[in-house]
Amino acid sequence: MSTTPNVPYRLEFSVEVPGTPEQVWQAIATARGMSAWFGPTEMEEREGGSLHFTMGPDMGSDGEVTRWEPPRRLVYEEDWAALMGKDPDALSPLTSEFLVEAQSGGTCIVRVTSSGFGTGADWESEFWDDLAPNWMPFFDNLRLYLSHFPGQEATHFEAAASHRCDADTLWSALSEALVLGDEGTSVEVRGATGTVERVGERQALVRVIAPVPGMLSVYTFAEADGNALAGVRAYLFSPDAAAYARREEPAWQTWLEALDVPAPSPASTGR
């Protein structure tokens, strides 16, 4: 197999979001904005600036802003090899481009392209197959953020627990325990009241109204060891959010760990 990174990979999609180009730019091209719908972000907001995304307690991604053209075009490169724990020469940088196009009626189209070059290894194809389903739900967060919380700073909390089952079984248990309904349904999720804004494959997005306004994403996904992870990710927008997050994060962690999940059948454990 070739060891030269000359096998191209590419993901392209577009989303329509509310707001002016300047409001959308604030959301997609600043540390404060990215942290409010994606994940905790550090960014030097200029061409050549450094970039860091926090992706969990022990995981992050480093990069550099390579194009900075407010309010229309942002390009950044991430160290794909370091992110995946691979030889630096085995992979090109992972390049992401955001283009903002104003529409009539107070919305913008955001065109997103991610691309890179690898060697054609199986794990590379799996990475790109998983990229869209893992990344695109965040753009529902972006739409909701621009609809209800534009320009506001987010307070985060996140909790997750692994269970010995497949991701679909775990999602059924999680959504049933939280009594999640269809899109548009009013819900109470562990003491927080709000509305189900989006239901996707093994994930749902709730706009929380009280006791602290914000967004709550709940999800499950398969892990490499055959288990599945159930998680919650919160973005809160209130002066009271920090105290609420300090209280709720450990409570969610305990709740997720204690989630009642059907035991795997002998057939499924034998696969």
Whether residue 266 is predicted with pLDDT greater than 60 in this model: the reply is no
Q: What pLDDT is recorded for position 3?
A: 67
pTM, whole model, 2 decimals?
0.93
Each residue's pLDDT tens digit, 166-181? 999 999 999 999 999 9
Whether residue 150 is predicted with pLDDT greater than 70 in this model: the reply is yes
What is the average per-residue pLDDT within 104-115? Answer: 97
Phi/psi for 252 (5° steps) reads -65, -40
The DSSP-derived string for 73-130 is EEEEEE-HHHHHT--GGGS--EEEEEEEEEETTTEEEEEEEEEEEE---HHHHHHHHH
CA–CA separation, 256 vs 271, rounded Å? 26
Q: What pLDDT is recorded for position 1?
A: 46
Instruction: Give all domains of the chain, ordered by start, each with its CATH number.
Output: 7-149 (3.30.530.20), 155-258 (3.30.530.20)
Whether residue 263 is predicted with pLDDT greater than 90 in this model: the reply is no
Q: What SS3 string covers 41-80?
A: EEECCCCCCEEEEEEECCEEEEEEEEEEECCCEEEEEECH
- Spatial CB neighbours of 143, under 8 Å, sequence gap ≥ 6: 15, 16, 17, 18
Whether residue 13 is predicted with pLDDT greater than 70 in this model: the reply is yes
Average pLDDT, the chain: 93
Lowest mean pLDDT among 90-94, 188-192, 222-226, 248-252: 222-226
